[in-house]
Chain A
Amino acid sequence: MNRLSWFNTVSLTLGFAFLYIPMVILIIFSFNESKLVTVWAGFSTKWYGELFRDQAFLNAAWVTLKVAVFSSTLATVLGTMAAYVMVRGGRFAGRTLFSGMIYAPLVMPEVITGLSLLLLFIGIGLDRGVFTIVLAHTTFSMCYVSVVVSSRLVTFDRSLEEAALDLGCSPAEAFRLVTLPIIAPAVISGWLLAFTLSLDDLVIASFTAGPSATTLPMKIFSSVRLGVSPKINALSTIMIAIVTVGVITASLITKSSVARQRRAEQEAARAS
Chain B
Amino acid sequence: MRRLILIAVPYLWLLALFLVPFVIVLKISLSDTALAIPPYTPTLDLSAGWQGIRDFFAELDFENFVWLTQDDLYWKAYLSSLWIALASTAMTLLVAYPIAYGMARAPEEWRPTLMMLVILPFWTSFLIRVYSWMGILSQEGFLNQFLLWTGVISDPLQILNTNTAVYIGIVYTYLPFMILPIYATLDRLDISLIEAAEDLGCSRASAFWLVTVPLSKNGIIAGCFLVFIPALGEFVIPSLLGGSSTLMIGKVLWEEFFSNRDWPVASAVAVVLLLILVVPIVLFQKNQERQQEAEK
Within 8 Å by CB, do A and B touch in the complex? yes
- Contact residues of B: prevailing secondary structure: helix
Q: Which residues of B contact A110 (CB under 8 A)?
A: 233, 235, 250
* Set of chain B residues within 8 Å of A36, measured between Cβ atoms: 140
Query: Which of B9, B17, B253, B281 makes the CB contact (< 8 A) with A115?
Result: B253
Instruction: List B contacts of A84 (CB < 8 A).
Output: 6
B175 touches A19 (CB 8 A): yes
Is A224's CB within 8 Å of the partner chain B? yes
Residues B59-109 near A (CB distance < 8 A): 95-96, 98-99, 101-103, 105-108
Say yes or no: B253 contacts A228, CB within 8 Å: no
Interfacial chain B residues near A185, Cβ < 8 Å: none
Q: In the assembled complex, which residues on chain B have CB atoms less than 8 Å from the CB atom of A233?
A: 135
Q: Does A271 make an interface contact (CB < 8 A)?
A: no
B129 and A115: CB pair below 8 A?
no
> Among A118-126, A157-165, A262-270, which stretch is in contact with chain B?
A118-126
Q: Answer whether A82 and B240 are a contact pair too, CB < 8 Å, given A115-B25, A251-B116.
A: no
Say which size band chain A's interface belongs to: 35 or more
Please indicate the chain A residues that have their CB under 8 angstroms from the CB of B22 in the complex. 116
B263 interface contact, C-beta 8 A: yes
Q: Least Cβ distance of A272 to chain B in Å?
A: 29
A224 vs B118: C-alpha distance in the bound complex, in angstroms?
26
B127 near A85 with CB under 8 A, answer: no
Kindly identify, within residues 276 to 291 of chain B, every residue whose CB is under 8 Å from any CB belonging to chain A: 277, 281, 284-285
Q: Check B120 against A247 for contact (C-beta < 8 Å).
A: yes
Known: A228-B135, A236-B125. A82 touches B10 (CB 8 A): yes
A81 located at the interface, meaning its Cβ lies under 8 Å from any Cβ of chain B in the complex: yes
Binding site for A on B (CB under 8 A): 2-3, 6-7, 9-11, 13-15, 17-22, 24-25, 28, 38, 95-96, 98-99, 101-103, 105-108, 112, 114, 116-121, 123-129, 131-136, 138, 140-142, 145, 172, 175, 191, 229-230, 232-236, 239-240, 250, 253-254, 257, 263, 266-267, 270, 273-274, 277, 281, 284-285
Chain A residues at the B interface, C-beta cutoff of 8 Å: 1-5, 7-9, 11-12, 15-16, 18-20, 22-23, 25-26, 29, 36-39, 78-79, 81-82, 84-85, 89, 92, 94, 97-98, 101-105, 107-112, 115-117, 119-120, 122-123, 135-136, 138-139, 142, 146, 171-172, 196, 199-200, 202-203, 207, 217, 220-221, 224-225, 227-228, 232-233, 236, 239-240, 243-244, 246-248, 251, 255
The 30 listed contacts between A and B (C-beta, < 8 Å) are A4-B106, A11-B98, A11-B101, A16-B99, A19-B121, A19-B172, A20-B121, A23-B121, A26-B135, A36-B140, A38-B140, A81-B6, A85-B6, A85-B10, A94-B11, A101-B15, A109-B234, A109-B277, A115-B267, A116-B21, A116-B24, A119-B263, A196-B123, A202-B126, A202-B127, A207-B257, A217-B125, A232-B131, A236-B132, A251-B112
Lowest 7 A-B CB distances belong to which pairs? Answer: A109-B233, A116-B21, A11-B98, A15-B99, A8-B102, A22-B132, A82-B10
